[in-house]
Amino acid sequence: MPPTTTASSGQQPGKSGRKKGRRARLIVLVLVLAVIGGIAYGGYWSVSTVRASLPQTKGSITLEGLSGPVDVKRDGYGIPQIYASSDEDLFMAQGYVQAQDRFYEMDVRRHMTSGRLSEMFGKSQVDNDEFLRTLGWDRVAKEEYDTKLSASTKKYLQAYAKGVNAYLQGKSGKEISLEYAALGFVNDYKPAKWTPVDSISWLKAMAWDLRGNMQDEIDRALMTSRLGPKQIADLYPDYPYSRNQTIVQEGQYDELTGTFQQNGSSANNGLSGTGTGTSTNGGTGTDGTTTASSASSALQSQLSGLSDVLDDVPTAVGVNGNGIGSNSWVVAGSHTITGHPLLANDPHLSAALPSVWYQMGLHCRTVSSKCQYDVTGYTFAGMPGVIIGHNAKIAWGMTNSGVDVTDLYLEKLSGDGYLYDGKVKPFTTREETIKVAGGASKKIVVRETNNGPLLSDRNDELVQVGKKAGVGNEAPDRGDGYGVSLRWTALDPGTSMDAVFAMDKASNWSEFRQAASLFDVPSQNLVYADSENIGYTLPGRIPIRQKGDTGAIPAPGWDPKYTWTGKYIQQDELPYEYNPKRGYIVTANQAVVDKDKYPYTLTTDWGYGTRSQRITDLIQQKIKGGGKLSTDDMRQMQLDNSSEIAKLLVPQLLKIDIDDKDVREAQELLEGWDYTQDADSAAAAYFNAVWRNILKLAFGNKLPKELRVKGQCLWVDPVNTTGPVDDTDKVRECGQRDADQAQPDGGDRWFEVVRKLMNDPNSDWWKTPAGVGDRPKATNRDELFKRAMIDARWELTAKLGKDIDTWSWGRLHRLFLNNQTLGTDGPDVVKYLLNRGPWKLGGGEATVNATGWNAAGGYGVVWVPSMRMVVNLGDLDKSKWINLTGASGHAFSSHYTDQTGKWVKGELLDWSFSDSAVDKSTSDTLVLKP
């Protein structure tokens, strides 16, 4: 029977939401006027339609399946704290409440992870569905549910699904979300019931966006069409271990015991010998280069098409695996004003509306064997439990480790099979039917090799090109062509869902480490704190390869030496730290451990440590100055805008003699600049334009078309390391990559590339032909810098005006928040109603306040600190948090973007945890009754 309600129905504005409530009513009025004017989306949206989906937040609702009453207490920002007396009731209520606020988002997510977007949005999504069906996330999730997860985890997933379905029962589409009313004009889609597998699949989508170096693997292979091995090596320099500190500094691998030990002792590692696989001592060589490169022409044709396919795949949390980072650090009580640890975290993910995160508290009224949880933090709508946050005893944060858990293989196809070890092996195949709203269904066949699914089957052009691809003498005969397959740890069933619940109730370091050992995919850097201790651990299913670092470039699938061994690094072999003597731990996607202290290859594509070292320097400045860190100090560090590449380049830029008075006027902005990228800074605007143009001139114009911005057509010269560039070799080529995916993106890999070249002012990389008009050619570093300063001046004149007094970084560096479906592809009036922004932001690429932008594509914000939190282990009620948007996914809710303004300003909200603090902050209380 449908849920019954009493008392108030409809959302009640909180204490801070009244002004935004008035704005919501204004937007409703605009909508009504749009309807009257005949420009609404295909029909009539009434005020009742707009209001129908706003959730009930007061009074009571009867839910069949509860064993006892559940209280849902929301604060002035609509953030819910749930109180129950059993685990099942707690997670059932979580499902119900998340569905109240975010079901449309949840529904889109599950259609993405299962490759069923076409059922909602029609034929435009068929290509994406084909690719996602080929990956088979939902198939793996179902296998996890059936064979890997604990009985208690299954019980919680079932309870969560029951809560979601209780919310859906008896509701029409427009009563669930406004977007369904819009979809109703083009198809008769109706949401299906939620299942436990729908929740598990989301972890696969998250793992896909955080998968590590797969894009680097593709890019390096694509570069071989225009660049030689030395030139590619220039663009992928080694990690600067001597300058930027690793995460783990006080431990190393012990060959005698076969475990990772801190300061020569395995005490307090918290694992007691647990592991996820059998280990062997792996090498770190890259001796697969010759064999793999022998098929370079085939790789070129296959990977350029594959890159296009990947760019179109919907993102879950990141920008398709490119450039995503995060900050997290923890400081021991010896260095804080409270005498207890402080923990900060701000994951850098794609800007989404609503935010990828949903804030929530899950509280057992009495913690016992019947009801085990008292936890709060950031959740994913559609998945039970808390992903990042704290309970009554411990706190934890996450950053992406970036370890290499994917390999691409070039496969030699032959009839109904593929070549392996000199023999033709049959494909493993399955047929998939894609249902299409408003159209006929489409059937596809998914083929898999021993290495994994054949991704290249999902592009007709790739199939044809693979049949014709030229290869070197060492590769097998062409036969029926070549394809590209994927080996990825997330395509094997795992236990990450078990890990979420185990971490949520862990009460000490040992229990936390045991829980983390279950978090196999995606591998994350986990920082830990309790009231007296701090720690770090690296979990994850990380493969041991026969040929060492085969993940640097695509490998020849026909050669058994490149097949994964089936062995993984055991958990007690993975790096960790517990109460290091220095009193703090910083993780910001830098190298985990010095390569000389560890025998395994985790990856060769770390972040280069720019953010992590800046955070470390800020902590050390405070400590060495005799100070103690406060919660607000941690917040201020999260907002640090300092540009490390500006510190390197500006002194040299100021030495360059500029004749043009207008360009010289812009150059003078850099004099006395403190390198901070505030939103109102003209100097930051000009420097970043110079940086963008340096990258374009030195590198971008010399990269193959597959890496450059789509539509950017140039006469391109390859870099020639044996002599000067020959102008007669110019070739006109147009870029093929989306602006937010193109190279050079300007991240800290490029910082390191330029840093190494600064001492070689006559490198061929600095040479570039003359530009249009009077733009001079460059024959050395300083001439290229001068050209970049000229180009930047006139680029900003076109964008911001000739008067430099009106320039500011925020005018260039803007954040738009778009609804991820109808807000990007719907009619203009729908986009207007669902989207928000722009906001002018400070920060920038590879700064601590990492408001990322792609230097090849422009200055707009591509990813952001998706949330910020600081946990105070001395008094949990003095912890702080903020979300990018708001709790609600309903466009006309007062909680749609009510946290964004504070997020932009760098403010944090109070984070209530204790019963008394939650009661004090509560605005609305809803009782769910059995």
Residue range 120-136: mean pLDDT, rounded: 92
The position carrying tokens 């380049």 is: 649
Does the pTM surpass 0.75? The reply is yes
Nearest CA to 95 among 124, 72, 128? Answer: 72
User: Looking at residue 301, what is its pLDDT?
Assistant: 55
Residue 429's φ and ψ, nearest 5 degrees, are -125, 155
In contact, 97 and 382? CB cutoff 8 Å: no
Tokens representing 766 are 């600095």
What is the dihedral angle through the alpha carbons of 166, 168, 171, 173, rounded to the nearest 10 degrees?
170
Q: What is the DSSP string of 569-601?
A: --GGGS-EEES-TTSEEEESS--SS-GGG-SS-
Q: How far apart are CA 635 and CA 638, in angstroms?
A: 5
Nearest CA to 679 among 571, 478, 814? Answer: 814
In contact, 578 and 390? CB cutoff 8 Å: no
In contact, 522 and 506? CB cutoff 8 Å: no
Q: How far apart are CA 375 and CA 94, in angstroms?
A: 12
601-620 pLDDT tens trace: 999 899 999 999 999 999 99
On the question of a cis peptide bond just before residue 838, with omega within 30 degrees of 0, the verdict is yes
Confidence band of 732 (pLDDT split at 50, 70, 90)? confident
Tokens representing 272 are 């007691």
Beta-strand runs (E) in 421-556: 423-426, 428-434, 442-449, 452-453, 482-488, 524-530, 534-537, 543-545, 555-556
Three-state SS at 616: helix
Nearest CA to 472 among 688, 248, 291, 243? Answer: 291
Which has more pLDDT, 37 or 81?
A: 81
Report in angstroms the alpha-carbon separations of 770 from 6, 58, 773, 776.
Answer: 75, 68, 9, 5
Residue range 331-356: mean pLDDT, rounded: 96
Confidence band of 187 (pLDDT split at 50, 70, 90)? confident
- The set of long-range contacts for 648-651, using a CB threshold of 8 Å and a minimum separation of 24, is 648/751, 648/754, 648/755, 648/758, 649/687, 649/690, 649/691, 649/694, 649/754, 649/785, 650/675, 650/687
Residues contacting residue 759 through CB under 8 Å, at least 6 positions apart:
none
Confidence band of 41 (pLDDT split at 50, 70, 90)? very low
SS3 labels along 345-375: EEEEEECCECCCCEEEEEEECCCCCCCCCEE
Phi/psi-derived region of residue 348, left when phi > 0, alpha when psi is between -120 and 50, beta in every other case: beta
Tokens representing 235 are 């663009």
Residue range 773-792: mean pLDDT, rounded: 93
Count of CB atoms situated within 10 Å of the CB of 545: 24
Confidence band of 552 (pLDDT split at 50, 70, 90)? low
Count of CB atoms situated within 10 Å of the CB of 567: 15
User: Looking at residue 243, what is its pLDDT?
Assistant: 96
Burial group, residue 264, by CB count within 10 angstroms (0-12, 13-18, 19+): exposed
Nearest CA to 688 among 697, 673, 679, 677? Answer: 677
The mean pLDDT of the chain is: 87
Confidence band of 460 (pLDDT split at 50, 70, 90)? low
Confidence band of 827 (pLDDT split at 50, 70, 90)? confident
Residue 469 has pLDDT above 60, yes or no: no
User: Looking at residue 281, what is its pLDDT?
Assistant: 35
194-214 pLDDT tens trace: 999 999 998 888 888 787 677
The position carrying tokens 């190494």 is: 756
Q: How far apart are CA 208 and CA 315, in angstroms?
A: 9
Nearest CA to 461 among 298, 223, 301, 314? Answer: 301
Tokens representing 771 are 């530009």
Per DSSP, the chain holds a count of helices (H) and strands (E) of 29, 35
